[in-house]
Amino acid sequence: LFLDRSDAVELPIKFIPQNAGCYHCWILLKSSCDVRVYEIECVVNTDHAEAELEFVTPAYQPVIQDIPINNMSSQEWKLEAILEGHGFYGPPLINVGLGGTALYPLMFKPVTEC
């Protein structure tokens, strides 16, 4: 199936979210010979997406930092954590209930002085 760009029609949508979260929308388009339903999902993040942590601990002694994850959306989050770097450990999955906060326990366990 090849689509001809001359047959395309733009459908401008203005979206003004109140808070961070996941927003779902269904658009129903009807004509005399066709009916189509489009499902749209918009994910909105806060402006404060970056953070920096500094761990200070003697060699071979672990330190744990609980990182709060706030879910201000209307559905539960099931998040997968991907850790990069030597000596960092944490659970691979974490659930954050709707409207709740979960603490992600990030552990740094140095094996040498660094």
* CA–CA dist 79, 96 (Å, integer): 8
- Does the pLDDT value for residue 45 go beyond 90? no
User: pLDDT tens digits for 67-109?
Assistant: 999 887 778 889 999 888 888 999 999 999 988 899 999 999 8
User: pLDDT tens digits for 18-29?
Assistant: 777 788 889 998
Give the start-to-end residue ranges of the domains of the chain: 63-108
Residue 20 DSSP class: S
101 vs 4, more confident: 101
* CA–CA dist 61, 107 (Å, integer): 10
CA atoms within 13 A on the CB side of 82: 0
The model carries a pTM of 0.56
